[in-house]
Structure 1
């Protein structure tokens, strides 16, 4: 390779764009308490797709400047590939959801699949921006633009959590044979004496008070409730085994006030950890509702 090619803006643009695209993918891809994506094979799959996305983003600008307009059509193929990633994640999580003691639910699964697709587009964005500024200006402006694009990608990494839409407090769990209540909100009927004793010893109640009308509708969504229960069970553990429907965590709505009562049987019963787990639980994008937006200056 002639050394002169290393000074070509197009070549530098591809290299710097590819570099920042890969950095963006590394930054956005992590295995957290949910253990997803799995390590190492799940990460290998997603990193490979991330490198492809970074390469596509880095090649767009040099291809356009070289008047190779047909090369841009590869972006449509990339979009199709990333839609396939979304479908793959949806199918994988749906298959294993039946094996969870507390399932994620379809809304949470679709939200996770959407995130994995969307983050590949953020990788393309970072690579394209770094490549664009490198080719049009000089390499250090490409580096600056790449760093700024990483900050933008980081902003999209984390969405809102429960603490943004509701106030949370620990509530009393009451059993009035055979009915189970969290404060005054009815949860379920408990028939077996053994289950009643387990609930009295290990049960924890929580009440989420929505901050506005939009929050009421979001919390009332079954998908959001199921995602919240799965998140709590993953973080705090769950005192149950398969074939014990009475001991499954539940969330019920107070139709009068819009409050959401949660009943759980956690392995970890530290009140501060429980509150942090609830407040930090993610809001499922598919469950977000904004009915007040339909009313100009009024209430829903």
Structure 2
């Protein structure tokens, strides 16, 4: 059999198009964005970045698209908003926020997670991951706008420290949405009658809303606990000195949570039962009540009465 000159007898590669054969270049298709809500994608990114998810750092990555959308919707960032994200992970929430916000600054302390975000944040010029602990973060130093927002899948074992740090900030966020353990969300949103010291501490600084509950299957790997989406709007109802006085009394009372106010307030009064009784009477509170039954107004009245009786020689 005689072949034509120059022919090899091989078929052109499948990716050749008519234009390629005729000499015209075929444009390369743009790479599809990573779907970071797919467990297989999460595992692939983790492998590429050398990330081993650490239980001690509460590294359970959100893989539920509906939950991700609910967080973004609850935060409601606009085109002019800066967002501080706490706990970038592999950038799942970062990417979702960047699609709506002006700028996203994601804080992360794990080097492998930062390597992962170097992969997942490609093409998102308005998002950056920074190696920094939120407890050392300064909104001004990070270049966040005056009415910045905050969000994150925060380490559950650091929830109290993170919320306190953020809400007590000289310039707190305009609003914030976080993933927290369901039991924590229940305590922070509890009606009067079932309050804890954490409830008093947070509700004195912000209004709190429990947006939705999430099962362990919403995360990769699934944690041992259920989670909740929590929305906070900073709105301090106490002055700083007044809040310190309230927390001083509440802290002493909740250390004896199962005992009555008589015992807890006596502790706050340095063991002076007469001073405690006078303060409770002045505040109009039954000494036989439990600490968890008081609302914020009652804690304020009690702290004010105790301080007044301390200053007054006659009780």
Task: Return the TM-score normalized by structure 2.
Answer: 0.26
Larger fraction in helix: 1
Choose 1 or 2 for highest CA Rg.
2
1 or 2 for the larger relative contact order (CA 8 Å, sep ≥6)? 1
